[in-house]
Structure formats: C-alpha cells, structure tokens
Structure 1
C-alpha cells in the first residue's frame, strides 16, 4: 500500500488534488445533511441572515475558493502550503457548486426541480477530478507515445481531432458525453457517431430534410430517457434531497 501511495500519489504530485477532491466531496455531503436538517426543522442549525438578507453558503464558498486558489499560486510546490490551499479550495468549491443552480438561475431554486442542476454539477465535477487523479489527461494526451509527444505536429493533430469529436458530441445535445470525452476521447468518439438528440443544433441542421433520421432520433431519445430518468431521479433524491412540488401557478 505504501509503495502504491508513493508511486501514484506522492511522486506525481497528486496529493493536493486528492485533498481538494476529498474536501470537495465531504463539504458537499455535510452541506446537504445540514440543509436537509434545516428544511426538516431539526437540529441546532438555521439559515444565516444579515438583517433581512439570507446569506447563502455560496458567499463564503466564493471567499474560500479565492483564498485557496491564490494560496496555491503563492505557496509553490513544496511544504505544507499546497496541501492547505488545496483543502481550502476544495471546501470553497463544494460550497459554490452546491448552489450552482442559484448562480445559473439567479434565483433561490435550491429545493426546486431546477435545483437538481447543482447535484448534477457536483457529481460531474467529482467524476472528472477523479479521472484526472487516476491519470487521465484532457484530449487523450496520456495515450500518446513518447515519440508522438516529441512530435509537436502529431500531438497537436491528436488533440485537435479529440477536441473536434467532443464538439460534435456537444452539438448533438450530448453535453455530459462531450465533457467526459475531453478526458476520455473514445467517449467523445462514440457520442459523435451516435444519433443526435431532438432539438439539438446538429438535429436542426442535418435532420431537417431527413424524416427517417429525425424519427429515429426521437425514438432513441424517448427510450433512453424512459430507461434512465427514473434511476437518475432516485439517485438525485437520495443524494441531494427530494425537490419541493411545483407551485400550482408554476404548472400553468
């Protein structure tokens, strides 16, 4: 275990990244527990206010993210500074992304259906950082040989092709596939080859005069959403809490 730790974490300099990821995940989980207790009216917790202003935890999150980011830049690569800055940065990022939906909508949608975007963003971020920690490099650079890395033209072409696949997947309405495809190029390749989602930029541009392709895209999206909507919703409810039912006026 000690040999694996030294070889895979210490020597590559990934300890700050591991600490930041751990702080990020723990902060999100603790924050969700506290907010669910506040919502249920249990425990000693309560909303933080300044007069009539509700201070959302994204505010201290931004402050901690700034402190951690500048601390990491100023502390160099040695000593206790990078580890401390990584922990502060992870805590701040966890607080910020837990209210990502508030930033996106500029409204307090924490316990609404729109608030699910925060949970999705946290899960996506943790997964991507986990892939980086495991050794994956954006645009598949880690898959290149030493000769290919020394050949700048070959490396640039490889990165450009992988980036193009990710852009195609994004234009087909597959945002998650595109994001993960930046880290794992084969994911972007698969997303770029499969049918576009209805209403996506690709579908509007290339399926407009192809009724068969348009019908197949609608059918595939229907089956995909029907298969995964339930498990995705159940996971979101378990991790982030069940959203409040929409207000009757909002349904109209």
Structure 2
C-alpha cells in the first residue's frame, strides 16, 4: 500500500474534485432538506404539476452528463475535472435518496431512510481512501516480485467471494471496509449473517436463525444506539422514533 500526497493535487486531481464535490453536495443537501422539514429559510419542496421531483432526478442527469463528458474528453483537462465534479454532485444526490429508490416509496425521514446515510458514509470512506492512494489491488514496491502475481491471483478471488458473501449476509459496512482490508471481509463472510438478510432467510434453520438474532441483538445493544445517534445528528431524527436496530443495514463482522 503506497500513499503519495503529492498525487492528490496532481494525477488524481479529478478524483479529489469528485470526492470534494460529493461531500459538499451531501452536506448542503442534508442542510437544505432539514431546513425544508423545519419550515425555515427560503427553500421549498420541488413540486411541478403536483409531482414531487426528488433530488435524485437531477442527480441522475448530472451523473449521466458527467459520464458522457468523461468519455468524450478521454482524460484531457479541463474536461476531466468538469466531469469529476458533475459525477460527484450527481452521485451524491442519488445516493442521498438510495433508500427511497430501494423501497420505491418516500422513506426519506423514516428509520429505513437512514440507510441512505450509511451508504453515503461508506462511499465517502472509500473515495477518501482512493484519494489518498490506497489501492487494494496495488502491490508495494518492496514486495517480492516473484510471489506478488501469485499471491494476488489467489487472494483476489477469495476476497471477491468474501465481499459478495458479506453483502448477501447483510453486512454492508463490513464489505466496504473489507474491500480495502481483506481479512475483515474474510471474517465477515465466515460469521453468522444478519437475521433479516436474504442469506439468513433462505439458508438458516430456525435454530440457527435464532442464534443469529441473539448475536445481532447483543451487538446492537452495545453499538447500535451509538450508530443511530450519529445518523440522527447527520440526517435528522426520523419520523416515528423507534430506536430498535434489527435491519440488515447494521452489521457485525
């Protein structure tokens, strides 16, 4: 793993701009939506012809536009930087309403809606690590040259399978961290799934499902409340303050 801070404002400038625009857009979006919810300031819901146009719509437009620009300029400046900003803004707007898209209903201010905050947080973490030059597929210069390709060819398929298992087991945070720290994904893949995950529902016997529920309950009792407090601080307290944490979006390795 190699981190070169000089590259952050050099070859990786578009990636840095994407990261910055993503974070700033998310913070501004949450600020504006919370002001709208509180009835403060000049902002209002974007309603046209009786239809509430969610900000995921302009987000999709910006993301697609940025992708087209990126392909058209083929990495040339300033097109690369412009496309990076467009993609950062667009993906931030889309992921801020990830839960709404997933449920196909307006769950923005519900507990289910805070899945969007978790997805955005994981994306920010992954982008931040990428900006710093942390590449899970990159081999260090001082690694053994003869063994490097062999280790990578064996390690990569195992890690990919482990990541897919973590996602199937409802361990999204573990999967995001495991993409950069492989042993985290391996441990998450081996351990019990979240009780409401697709993996648990399809594959676990009643006894094993009860064991998974008990383990999740203990984990949530210790860490779940803290996570919910942070999410409430960032996203705003949801409507219907049920503090139970039983969904697949709160995970343990």
Superposition TM-score, scaled by structure 1 size: 0.82
Aligned length: 237
The answer for the alignment partner of 1:177 in structure 2 is 174
Asked if residue 136 in structure 1 is aligned to residue 131 in structure 2, the reply is no
Residues 41 and 168 (structure 1 numbering): CA distance in 2 closer, same or farther, change over 3 Å? Answer: closer
The answer for the alignment partner of 2:97 in structure 1 is 99
Asked if residue 242 in structure 1 is aligned to residue 198 in structure 2, the reply is no
The answer for the alignment partner of 2:8 in structure 1 is 9
CA RMSD of the aligned region, Å? Answer: 2.7
Once residues 239 and 187 of structure 2 are traced to their aligned partners in structure 1, the CA distance between those partners, rounded to angstroms, is 36
Q: What displacement does 1:84 show?
A: 1.3
Q: What displacement does 1:78 show?
A: 3.0
- Give 5+ residue unaligned stretches, structure 2: 242-253
1:155 aligned to which of 152, 158, 165: 152
The answer for the alignment partner of 1:228 in structure 2 is 223
- Give 5+ residue unaligned stretches, structure 1: 247-252
Residues 241 and 177 (structure 1 numbering): CA distance in 2 closer, same or farther, change over 3 Å? Answer: same
Once residues 211 and 103 of structure 2 are traced to their aligned partners in structure 1, the CA distance between those partners, rounded to angstroms, is 33
Asked if residue 28 in structure 1 is aligned to residue 26 in structure 2, the reply is yes
The answer for the alignment partner of 1:115 in structure 2 is 113
CA offsets per residue over residues 158-208 of structure 1, 9 Å max, x none?
A: 211221222343444423212321222121122234344445566568764
Secondary structure of 1:183's match?
Answer: coil
Residues 78 and 174 (structure 1 numbering): CA distance in 2 closer, same or farther, change over 3 Å? Answer: same
Greater percentage in helix: 1
Residues 110 and 185 (structure 1 numbering): CA distance in 2 closer, same or farther, change over 3 Å? Answer: same
Once residues 206 and 20 of structure 1 are traced to their aligned partners in structure 2, the CA distance between those partners, rounded to angstroms, is 40
